Amino acid sequence: MKNNKKKTSLAVLSILAGAIYFITLIPYFVGGWEGGIRNVNESCKIQTDGVDNESKGSRILQRIQVETKSNDILYSDSIVNIKTGKMMPVSYTKMYVNDESKEPNSILYLILTIVVFLGGLPFFVIPFLFYKLVLSVYKDEIFTLKNIRRIKTLGILYLILYATKFAYNLTNYYIDTSTIELRNYNIIKPDLGYNFLLIAILLFIIVIVMKRVMIMKEEQDLTV
Amino acid sequence: MKTNTAKTKLTALSVLATLTYCLLLFSSFTEGWDDFKLGFQEGYSFKLQTYFVDLKAKKSISSFPDSLTNIKMGEKVNIRYDKAQVRAAVIPVPGKSIDKYQLIETLISLISFFIVIYIPVLFFKLMKTLMNEVVFDKKNIRYLRKLAVLLIVYYIVDFITNYISYRINVSLFDFANYKILREPADMIWLLLGVVLLLFAEILTKGSKIQEEQDLTI
């Protein structure tokens, strides 16, 4: 009875982890979806307006993180609050820049494309591995070599996610700083996403612990 | 020989996890340092307050209602603001239920302060025992369960805080070109919490097997 309860709680936890992973994916897809619609809109507009894309150069759409340049001026802009009709001091920390100037460095864009493809792979493989883990836990096959390999692969995939996020953010930062400079704002280095790295290391610790349990179980089975 | 390698691996990974966690803490501190200084200044003057507002262009996803000069090219570029810090008077608009929200926000800040202090303490304790090769210990399981619960509570607290600041922002501001959005809570804490709960379950099973093995011997 108690064993069954444990088994169910493990299965429920695995399903929960899988479900939460799917939810963490949603913002990436929503962002990508919006970006896709925007690109389609823009290309339609260019076609109907008859704009020569070659002469005008490509559009660069970047989401940049900024901070005010001077420490004395914390609020470099202002905005009208319709509720009160008053102007209020404001400083922006994140913005989308739509630039029509020529692309600065095609190598950086190539790196970015490669990084996006590399980072895309774990997004699809991780849920599959979660599913496989849940299935084996449900069958009460927890401490098996297959599961250890799966968790190890999950750790490696999270490491890849960390590395690609790191590379993506840094490349974007270099593209931004080489094409854009604003009067009142500095472009700041983005978050390097240490939480993916932490998850990867914790998964590797779980692998070692599982290996030990497996050895103990094997010894116990042999004794019996 | 093999056991020794596994021991070194576990110690190395525990050290690495501790270092990564320290980096994570350091980056959140450096990120929030300016906001902390600002909050301190505001608390000192009691006149103005900064509101963190998430924005989205009202018209459509392809509209850029603002523009800025790009000094590099000397040209104007189209801009759409995404996040802003708005400075406004502390005194709330009459008839709005901001006081209630601010009270909840203060209570929640206390909870999150406790969590932010307690999580590193538990984490370092756990890593220390793992570094000392004590794996299947009841204490470790307790640490892990507490850590997991705290991470899940932290996610919930983050969610509520974001919702409250969204409600306050919506009741105080309205902008011509922008909609005010609710900042999403970071799901990674929830995921980490569940992963730790899984880890605790595995450790529980392991400690039971070890107990049985010890009894057999």
B91: pLDDT strictly greater than 60: no
Alpha carbon distance A56, A49 (integer Å): 13
Radius of gyration of chain B (CA): 24
Contacts of B58 in chain A (CB under 8 A): none
With contacts defined as CB-CB under 8 Å, which chain B residues touch A183? 68-69, 71
pLDDT digits (tens, 9 = 90+) for B14-64: 788 888 877 877 777 777 677 677 666 666 665 677 888 888 888 776 778
pTM of the model as a whole: 0.78
A82-86: list long-range contacts, CB under 8 Å, 24+ apart. A82/B174, A82/B175, A82/B176, A83/B93, A83/B172, A83/B173, A83/B174, A84/B93
User: 3-class SS at B77?
Assistant: strand
Provide the pLDDT confidence category of residue A156 given band limits of 50, 70 and 90.
very high
Given pLDDT bands bounded at 50, 70 and 90, which one contains residue A37? Answer: low
Buried residues in A111-145 as b, exposed as e (16+ CB within 10 A): bbeebeeebeebeeebeebbeebbebbeeeebbee
User: How far apart, in whole angstroms, are the C-alpha atoms of residue B208 and residue A115?
Assistant: 44
Q: What is chain A's Cα-based Rg?
A: 25
For B71, the domain range is 2-211
Q: Which residues contact B208 (CB under 8 A, 6 or more apart)?
A: none
Predicted pLDDT of residue A149? 92
Whether B172 and A98 lie within 8 Å, measured CB to CB = no
Surface of A (166-195) touching B: CB under 8 A: 178-183, 191-192, 194-195
Question: From the CB of residue A69, how many other CB atoms can be counted at a distance below 10 Å?
Answer: 13
Domain count, chain B: 1
**Residue B77's pLDDT band (cuts 50, 70, 90):** confident
Model confidence band, residue A43 (pLDDT cutoffs 50, 70, 90): low
pLDDT at residue A57 greater than cutoff 50: no
A52-61, A96-105, B27-36, B101-110: which has the minimum mean pLDDT? A52-61
> What pLDDT score does A93 carry?
83
Please report the ipTM that was assigned to this predicted complex: 0.77
Q: Is residue B62 part of a domain?
A: yes
Number of domains within chain A: 1
Q: What is the pLDDT of residue B150?
A: 92
pLDDT tens by residue, A124-148: 888 788 778 877 877 777 788 898 9
| Confidence at residue A51, expressed as pLDDT on a 0 to 100 scale | 42
- Domain that residue A164 falls in: 2-223
State whether residue A152 sits within 8 Å of chain B by CB.
no
Is A153 a residue whose pLDDT tops 90?
A: yes
